Amino acid sequence: MFTLDPAKPLSLANPGRAQHVLVVEDEDLIREMLTLALEEEGYAVETVADGRSALNLLCNADANSGRSFDLVILDLMLPQVNGLDLCRLLRRQGNAIPILILSARGSETDRVLGLEVGADDYLTKPFSTRELIARCRAVLRRQGLNHLPQPMVLQHRDIVLYVQECRVVVRQQEVNLSPKEFRLLELFMTYPRRVWSRENLLDRIWGADFIGDSKTVDVHIRWLREKLEIDPSRPEYIITVRGFGYRFG
Ligand code: CA
């Protein structure tokens, strides 16, 4: 089951939206493997199995429709329009979308040809998903579209959280949080006003393997409120959203 992951790598072009990857690959297994690996990293993935569909999709991509893409992963050997031609066509149309070429062929000629027609990088099959993700990130980083920089300090009103120092200061007073409380607060402060269900919070902070129930979340929220709120019985920071869960701010 897939749930909406709030930690998706965000697009700089359109903050608040996950980076959108188009996978163009005619081999079902590889397409599925790529989709899983990318989704696991938080990318939003769309797939097509031939060059013509890819071309249609990319030419009709419209930033306002939410269907624009940040990266294309492009197999070379494709039915209808092959990867090299597709790449060449896009560049000729002035489309500068980052393209990562995949190919079973690993010869220097193909690599050079791929880059010559305007691809940004080239990966030879077989490859590890780790390498794939690293290449995707590198291509996106070079395009200046990579993840928003991770802030070192999160601040909301008079609460300051120092991410790397695992330290929290409330109204100029250092407070001691347990690791779970700290991670809960960090998550809240990273996504202010986002509503989290107890199940979401359990998954994110305790992990999917955690055996226990959502009461655990309520207990930690109560402890956090005691440390953060001026009046824990009338919370101003961690707000209960009836029927849904909690939000911060
Ligand atoms: Ca192929």
Where are the domains positioned within the chain? 20-146, 153-248
Q: Give the architecture-level CATH label for domain 20-146.
A: 3-Layer(aba) Sandwich (3.40)
Q: How far is the CA of 54 from the centre of ligand 1 (A)?
A: 13
The tokens 């929290």 sit on which residue?
A: 168
Per the prediction, the chain carries an average pLDDT of: 85
Per-residue pLDDT tens for 36-59?
999 999 999 999 999 999 998 888
Range name among 173-187, 208-222, 232-246 with the lowest pLDDT average: 208-222
Q: How far is the CA of 154 from the centre of ligand 1 (A)?
A: 45
Q: In what order do the strands lie in the sheet with 238-241?
A: 195-196, 245-248, 238-241
Q: How far is the CA of 248 from the centre of ligand 1 (A)?
A: 47
CATH of segment(s) 153-248: 1.10.10.10
Mean pLDDT throughout 220-230?
96
pTM of the model: 0.54
Q: Identify the pLDDT of residue 8.
A: 55
Q: How far is the CA of 134 from the centre of ligand 1 (A)?
A: 22
CA 145, CA 104: separation in Å to the nearest integer?
28
Q: How far is the CA of 88 from the centre of ligand 1 (A)?
A: 17
User: 21: which strand partners?
Assistant: 45, 71
Q: Identify the pLDDT of residue 46.
A: 95
Q: Identify the pLDDT of residue 106.
A: 63
Query: What does the DSSP 8-state code read for residue 204?
Result: I
Q: How far is the CA of 76 from the centre of ligand 1 (A)?
A: 6
Per-residue pLDDT tens for 175-194?
999 999 999 999 999 888 88
Q: Identify the pLDDT of residue 11.
A: 57
Q: Is the pLDDT of residue 156 over 70?
A: yes
Ion ligand 1 residue ranges (Cβ < 5 Å): 26, 75, 77
Q: Identify the pLDDT of residue 141.
A: 82
Q: Identify the pLDDT of residue 150.
A: 54
Q: Which long-range contacts (CB under 8 A, 24 or more apart) does 232-238 make?
A: 237/156, 237/157, 237/159, 238/188
Q: Identify the pLDDT of residue 6.
A: 47
Q: How far is the CA of 180 from the centre of ligand 1 (A)?
A: 46
Q: Is the dihedral of CA 51, 55, 56, 62 positive or negative?
A: positive
Do 181 and 228 form a contact (C-beta atoms < 8 A)?
A: no
Q: Identify the pLDDT of residue 16.
A: 57
Q: How far is the CA of 202 from the centre of ligand 1 (A)?
A: 41
Q: How far is the CA of 26 from the centre of ligand 1 (A)?
A: 5
What percentage of the chain reaches a pLDDT higher than 90? 49
* CA distances for 172 relative to 14, 38, 75, 167, 196, angstroms: 35, 41, 55, 12, 28
Per-residue pLDDT tens for 80-126?
889 999 999 988 887 888 999 998 766 667 777 777 788 888 888 88
Mean pLDDT throughout 197-219?
86
Q: How far is the CA of 9 from the centre of ligand 1 (A)?
A: 27
Per-residue pLDDT tens for 65-92?
556 899 999 999 898 889 999 999 988 8
Q: Identify the pLDDT of residue 181.
A: 95
Q: Identify the pLDDT of residue 64.
A: 47
Q: How far is the CA of 81 from the centre of ligand 1 (A)?
A: 11
Q: How far is the CA of 43 from the centre of ligand 1 (A)?
A: 22
Q: How far is the CA of 110 from the centre of ligand 1 (A)?
A: 14
What percentage of the chain reaches a pLDDT higher than 70? 84
Per-residue pLDDT tens for 144-155?
644 445 568 889
User: 168: which strand partners?
Assistant: 161, 175
Q: How far is the CA of 137 from the centre of ligand 1 (A)?
A: 23
Q: Identify the pLDDT of residue 210.
A: 78
